[in-house]
Amino acid sequence: MYYIRPCPSCGQKVRFPIDKGKIKVSCSCGHSFIADPDDPSLFRDGAFDLGGGNKKKSVSMQSIFARVRIPDLHAIKSRIISSLYDLSYSVQNFKLLPDVEKKRLIMKILLFFIVIIFLVYMLLYCSAPASVDGNVI
């Protein structure tokens, strides 16, 4: 959320975030002041900017197709590789991990093995060969 307040020096409106805590705000004229959201005097002469007040939403087919993203295969590949590196690092440094991370790692490994066992079961036992006598069930 943002707050819009006039600059104490030149009177130009200055927009700054109030959810970042105590920050230093600089105006284009060069004047700067400290904006502390806990100080009630900050909110005397200004207005809240909640963002997106007068925007119209277009529901045309162009906007729908513009929102559809084509997955970037290179980015997916790099994410998979980096997550595998993170997993190998966690396995190699298992003794140094906090208890919560150890439990998460064990759960991930168990889940991986359960999925592999399920896939092997589905592949071997659920794909029964066709009957020899020609009867269709």
Digit-coded pLDDT (tens) for 35-90 = 888 888 877 788 888 765 555 555 566 666 667 777 788 889 999 999 889 888 88
Sequence-ordered list of residues with C-beta below 8 angstroms from that of 95, at least 6 positions apart, any chain: none
Residues 43 and 78 in one domain: no
Within a domain: 31: yes
Distance CA 134, CA 75 (A): 50
Sequence-ordered list of residues with C-beta below 8 angstroms from that of 24, at least 6 positions apart, any chain: 32, 33, 34, 35
Within a domain: 112: yes
Mean pLDDT of the chain: 82
pLDDT value of residue 107: 94
21: left (phi over 0), alpha (psi -120 to 50) or beta: left
| DSSP bridge pairs for 49 | 2
Residues 88 and 120 in one domain: yes
Within a domain: 68: no
| DSSP bridge pairs for 26 | 32
Within a domain: 81: yes
Question: How many domains would you assign to the chain?
Answer: 2
Within a domain: 133: no
Contact 25, 4 (CB under 8 A): no
Contact 23, 16 (CB under 8 A): yes
Contact 29, 73 (CB under 8 A): no
Q: Which domain holds residue 36?
A: 2-49
Within a domain: 98: yes
111 pLDDT band (50/70/90 cuts)? Answer: very high
Residues 77 and 120 in one domain: yes
Within a domain: 15: yes
Within a domain: 45: yes
pTM: 0.39
